[in-house]
Structure 1
Amino acid sequence: MNAQDGSEVVLEDRRLGEFSQFNDVDHEYLKSYALEYCYRHNYSMNREATADAIVSKYTFWPDRAAVWAIKENFIQFATDAYYTAPMQLSAHLHSASGSRVFQYVNNYNFSKQHPDLSFIPDWMGVCRDCDLYLMFGYPFLPDELRPLGLRGINFTDMDRNASRTFSNIVRRFTYYQNPNFLYDGSWVAYEPRRHWYMNFNYSHEEDWKVPGTIARDYRYQDVAFWNEYIPALVNYMTTTFSPENVAYRREIIVYRWITGVNAIIIILLVVLAGAFGYMVFGHKEEENAEYKGESHQLVDFGIRSVSDGTVSSRTRSPHSRIRGGGTQYLERESNI
């Protein structure tokens, strides 16, 4: 990791770098970004207290109006929150599970020994991609093969030596799973209780013989702040609420009451509309059914057959009715 990986937060916002030359990074910007960080991570409890704790930690208290100190602290805030704390936690978990971990911190700032050639502001420190520039040998590339952001930059011989040394570290770790140089074994693996790391800060010509300076427990207080204190503060149960939360709750209660009353009114209107429709159209259909069921025939002529046989006279053939035995009587009845 790089010492100031959080500079990516400033560089990715074009409004800060392209139009205002990073002048908007002040104390108010730090406060607004801390509150936005709490909202992004869904800190629903103690949100204001969490934001105040972040602002208090990364405020330069000797001089709160110091422009460069405010910018440096903001970069450190973004670095610790997004890079240092998660990487330290990941390295600790991998080491505790039995994996072999080697950690480095890149503190080399390009062209810092030549202020006239420096293309990174001093308050920004080591940029997010500085270790990639060293690893892939950007100082050795011709200008036409560089990315657009690095064209026209004059890399120094110190930059090229640092790139050669850093790429040698990566190459040896890839081949041998050990980043130490051939005649040097100073780089100790990361341990669960001894958090060793290599501080890469190439500043002398003799530094190419060793990977860097060994150190222990990189920014452990800041790591504990983000990995231990902030989660405990977020999950801490309090009995009081801020006035802002009380206002939000009242608005939600009023909204629920209004929604419930409107729902009841709509249901009543639907029921009344259905009842009215049934009264108008249902009663009319019943009257039509009764009207169709009434008989409009005044006289009904029927023919009865009385025979001693089992078959009626209507079902017999004409010959059987003439020849057959028995007496047939035709009666006419009139029904009025």
Structure 2
Amino acid sequence: MNLPRKLLSKSLVSARQSIRNKSFVRIVEVGARDGLQNIPTNISTEVKVGLINRLSETGLKTIEVTSFVSPKWVPQMADNTRVFQEVNKKKLISYPVLVPNLKGLEAAIKVGAKEITVFLSASEGLSKKNINCTIDESLVTAKTVISKAKESNLKIRGYISCTVGCPYDGYIKPASVAKVAEALLSYGCYEISLADTIGVGTRSSVEKMLEEVLIIASPDKLAIHCHDTYGQALVNVFTALEKGLTVVDSSVAGLGGCPYAKGATGNVATEDLVYMLHGLGAETGVDLNKLVEAGRFISDYLERPPASRVNNALFSKMK
């Protein structure tokens, strides 16, 4: 069903005004990490580095490159050290890495990482399935990792997964998300990314979640991270923009998925996100044509079309 014209018009004006007030929307590209980690076939280090180097030429300011997790659990990230060291890093671009624990942090520090990300869940079910502990136990681990990271003057970003729905627990109460976000900010995270990990969020559920989190955190401390399983990712990003958020996670070519939710698709495609943001009058600093080329590079390697309508539409014109 279409939104009533007056409501749609009001929403557009609200989002556009929110964007204009800050003018710049920062995109956090997660394709090389979140997008590739669940692909079962081995992707060579050279291809991963080639993707990241191409993304570095697009104007993106933040590109997540890998995760320092056990190869037993995430085989695709076993070459994390090589990937991080071989990337042609550019000034003014941040290259964060994900770390799950102190061992991962130590490895990240050893290779010279300047920024890390830590992840928790707002769902008890996913927390126990994914990292084998309760939310409260995961907060203890996160606090220890963040404390050590601060001693090394690292920037720390936090992820909260399953902020609106979980494959095990179903609906997630917004208060649960706010509790985890408040704790991570108090520990020292400069920003919290709120993830609809399985892509079940709608405008209404995302709005309710954000309203609760915004009670304990200002919009400049938050980011939105939407998967597109039900085709609602851009709608949900738009909802976050209305609430004043100006940081959005996305994945080139729509790469990604969730191993714990059958049918869950990748993050909102960076190409589609940039096209929408530019259409709303936002500045991103991103060259869309170069982004399309980067998405095509990894899609060709994987021998599948990009899960991005913008990529498919523009690439046909670029030939």
The alignment's TM-score, normalised by the length of structure 1, stands at 0.22
The alignment's TM-score, normalised by the length of structure 2, stands at 0.23
Q: Which has the larger radius of gyration?
A: 1
